[in-house]
């Protein structure tokens, strides 16, 4: 396995599966420490833990404080935007998000506002009008904190791009993560300055997906797992490019030496890197990983650009 350094920009460590809970049933012990150990060994050296609600963002920050290599986001996912109004005081809810983000920035942990955006595939959880209202509102968080945005766009490209364009002056940069859109959606995103596209197993399922990913410039791409979801399955079109594998066991037969079958985890971001390389015909995976690493630092860890990322680009490991 060639040595590469990777940053997984999307891990849902607040999800019950990492506590061993599946559909409300405890199947094994909480195992974030074991999962992290596998990730670090695989070449992951930073992880961004996703926050998708006020409470989840608090938990993400708590988790991020347990390891120097963990960071997090603060924001409200489109399917949960009803929480602003259900709180009884949307402005107070917004202020709570803002103060949490500021606390996390002071701790050196919060690196983005999000996960926010639009999801028209799951309108049963939150109507489009409420999604749009509070997506727009969260640009105020980015503007007040000067943080980049961690974005979600599902079956909503026209409205999403219109809102982002309208608020473009209020945030420095962003990533549309877990991208599964069309070539047209891709090109709309790429036309927005400092907008990157996050690729994971869900981005690599079909031959059409691979065609779309093939034309994302690597200078505008980041990689992620979105674990415990979005793993690369045996039925995925991208599976033919996967070189790295880990032994797995079903959750009922949990073994900490193995990954849990059908539960994605951060070490598997290595497979995303391999599929991106394979579908783009890139044989030098080290150079690809350096470019993706540099992109991620440019947006989320700009303080590192002068030292770590530049020496990586030069082909030297930073001390």
How many other C-beta atoms can be found within 10 angstroms of the C-beta atom of residue 203? 30
Q: What is the CATH number of the domain that holds 233?
A: 3.20.20.140
If we measure between CA atoms, which residue out of 283, 203, 213, 256 comes closest to residue 28?
256
Q: Would you state the pLDDT for residue 319?
A: 42
* Residues annotated within a binding site for a divalent metal cation: 28, 115, 152, 177, 226
302's tokens: 């700009």
Q: Is 319 within a domain?
A: no
pLDDT at 303: 82
pLDDT of residue 313: 57
Whole-angstrom Cα distance, residue 199 to residue 212? 11
Q: Which of 233, 221, 295 is nearest to 263 (CA)?
A: 233
User: Is 197 inside a domain boundary?
Assistant: yes
Nearest to 6 by CA among 318, 241, 224, 239: 224
Determine the Cα–Cα distance for residues 107 and 109; give it in Å rounded to an integer.
5
Asked whether residue 28 is domain-assigned, the answer is yes
Please state the separation of Cα 73 from the chain's center in Å.
9
The pTM for the full model equals 0.94
One digit per residue, pLDDT tens: the chain, 319 residues?
A: 557 999 999 999 999 999 999 999 999 999 999 999 999 999 999 999 999 999 999 999 999 999 999 999 999 999 999 999 999 999 999 999 999 999 999 999 999 999 999 999 999 999 999 999 999 999 999 999 999 999 999 999 999 999 999 999 999 999 999 999 999 999 999 999 999 999 999 999 999 999 999 999 999 999 999 999 999 999 999 999 999 999 999 999 999 999 999 999 999 999 999 999 999 999 999 999 999 999 999 999 988 765 554 555 555 554 4
Of 116, 112, 151, give the one whose Cα is nearest residue 300.
Answer: 112
Write out the binding residues: 28, 115, 152, 177, 226
Give the CA-trace dihedral at 95, 96, 98, 104, to 10 degrees: 160
Q: Beta strands 25-26 and 21-22: pairing type?
A: antiparallel
- What pLDDT score does 3 carry? 75
What lies within 8 Å, CB to CB, of 164 at 6+ separation is 151, 174, 192, 195
Long-range contacts of 83-91 (CB under 8 A, 24+ apart): 83/53, 83/54, 84/130, 84/134, 84/137, 85/130, 90/134
Number of C-beta neighbours around residue 59 at 10 A: 15
Contact (Cβ atoms closer than 8 angstroms) between residue 55 and residue 97: no
C-alpha distances (whole Å) from 95 to each of 23, 87, 99, 109 are 33, 12, 6, 19
Residue 259 falls inside a structural domain: yes
User: Is residue 307, in this structure, part of any structural domain at all?
Assistant: no
Q: Which helix (H) or strand (E) holds 119?
A: strand 110-119
Domain carrying residue 32: 6-302
Spatial distance between the Cα atoms of 9 and 44, rounded to a whole number of angstroms: 10
Write down the pLDDT at residue 2. Answer: 59
Is 213 part of a structural domain of the chain? Answer: yes
Number of domain units in the chain: 1
Q: What CA–CA distance (Å, rounded) separates 72 from 150?
A: 10
Q: What is the pLDDT of residue 314?
A: 56
Domain presence at residue 318: no
> Do 189 and 166 contact (CB within 8 A), yes or no?
no
């Amino acid at each position: 396995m060639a040595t590469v350094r990777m940053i997984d920009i999307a891990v849902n460590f607040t999800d019950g599966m990492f506590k061993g809970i599946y559909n409300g049933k405890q199947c094994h012990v909480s195992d974030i420490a074991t999962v992290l150990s596998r990730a670090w060994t695989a070449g992951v050296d930073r992880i961004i833990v996703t926050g998708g609600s006020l409470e989840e963002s608090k938990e993400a920050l708590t988790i991020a404080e347990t390891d120097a290599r963990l960071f997090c986001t603060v924001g409200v996912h489109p399917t949960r935007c009803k929480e602003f109004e259900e709180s009884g005081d949307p402005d107070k809810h917004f202020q709570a998000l803002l103060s949490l983000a500021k606390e996390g920035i002071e701790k050196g942990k919060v690196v983005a506002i999000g996960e926010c955006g639009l999801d028209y595939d799951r309108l049963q959880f939150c109507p489009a009008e409420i999604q749009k209202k509070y997506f727009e509102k969260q640009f105020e968080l980015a503007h007040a904190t000067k943080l980049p945005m961690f974005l979600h766009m599902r079956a909503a490209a026209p409205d999403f791009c219109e809102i982002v364009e309208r608020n473009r002056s209020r945030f420095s940069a962003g990533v549309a993560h877990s991208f599964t859109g069309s070539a047209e959606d891709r090109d709309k995103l790429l036309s927005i300055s400092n907008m990157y596209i996050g690729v994971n197993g869900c981005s690599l399922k079909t031959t059409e997906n691979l065609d779309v990913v093939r034309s994302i410039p690597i200078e505008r791409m980041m990689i992620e797992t979105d674990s415990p979801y979005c793993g690369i399955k045996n039925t995925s079109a991208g599976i033919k490019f996967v070189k790295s594998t880990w032994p797995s066991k079903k959750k009922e037969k949990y073994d900490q030496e193995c990954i849990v079958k059908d539960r994605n985890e951060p070490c598997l971001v290595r497979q995303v890197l391999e599929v991106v390389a394979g579908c783009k015909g890139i044989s030098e995976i080290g150079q690809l990983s350096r470019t993706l690493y540099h992109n991620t630092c440019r947006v989320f860890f700009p303080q590192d650009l002068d030292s770590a990322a530049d020496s990586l680009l030069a082909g030297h490991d930073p001390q």
